[in-house]
Amino acid sequence: MTKAVTQDLALFDLDNTLLAGDSDYSWSLFLINEGLLDEKTHHDRNEQFYEDYKNGCLDIDVFLKFQLAPLAAHPKTFLDDLHHKFMDTVIRPMMTQKAQDLVNQHQANGDLCMIITATNSFVTGPIATAYGIEHLIGTEPEMIDGAFTGNVAGLPSFQEGKVTRLNAWLSARGQQLSDFTTSYFYSDSHNDLPLMKLVTNPVAVDADTQLSAYAEAHDWPRVSLR
């Protein structure tokens, strides 16, 4: 039996939750604007994948094959430099003060804070750092000999995958979700209902239609960070 902890757990979705926009979707548009992806072949597919995600019918394996392929086309050092520009021109304008204040409040309370997102960790790692959040669970792009392969390493942190990945992370720390008397999960998306149903304090943030209706029916808080 594990020992209960006095620390609370605060989990944050990233895209359209802490961010007033979607980093995954925006990364593809950024690459198109930088001339690194062909607009004709990539723009419409990017739009369709985004609609599938919002409608809850995204084929995560097909999407990740599409989304991770550009990482395999360039050296890691080039991608890191590119990401700095992406942060400055695209991501920082999406980072709202309300979102930062929420993170700061949980950290001031001594809570264990984590971003848990389906978006890959290459895109999201610097964003978590910018928010001052140490812990991140994102879909992991496979790397071999310091280069991205375009494949996924392990289980994508999407829908029920977020539950599996979080449980594995906590288990590696000698913990489990039930050890936390209070646990929060902030999300905008009905895709996150599997994890939201497991925490003690689910919060719908600028929620999509499906999540907003579910939150209202179950008397969950609904807030905006915009």
pLDDT of the chain, 226 residues: tens digit per residue: 445 568 999 999 999 999 999 999 999 999 999 999 888 888 888 888 888 888 888 888 888 888 899 999 999 999 999 999 999 999 999 999 999 999 999 999 999 999 999 999 999 999 999 999 999 999 999 999 999 999 999 999 999 999 999 999 999 999 999 999 999 999 999 999 999 999 999 999 999 999 999 999 999 999 999 9
Looking at residue 3, what is its pLDDT?
54
In this structure, what token pair is assigned to residue 70?
């550009």
SS3 content of the chain, % helix, strand, coil (to 5): 55, 20, 25
The question of whether 13 is a catalytic residue gets the answer yes
CATH number attached to the domain at 9-223: 3.40.50.1000
Going from N- to C-terminal start, the domains of the chain cover 9-223
Cα–Cα distance for residue pair 57/78, rounded to 1 Å: 33
Q: What is the 3-state secondary structure (H, E, C) of 2-45?
A: CCCECCCEEEECHHHHHECCCHHHHHHHHHHHCCCCCHHHHHHH
Query: Active site residue: 8, 13, 22, 192, which one?
Result: 13
Q: What is the pLDDT of residue 6?
A: 84
From the list 8, 15, 24, 188, the catalytic residue is 15
With the CA atoms of 131, 136, 139 and 140 taken in that order, what torsion angle do they form, in degrees rounded to the nearest 10?
110
Cβ-Cβ contacts under 8 Å for 217 (sequence gap 6 or more)? none
Task: Report the C-alpha gap between 90 and 19 in whole angstroms.
Answer: 11
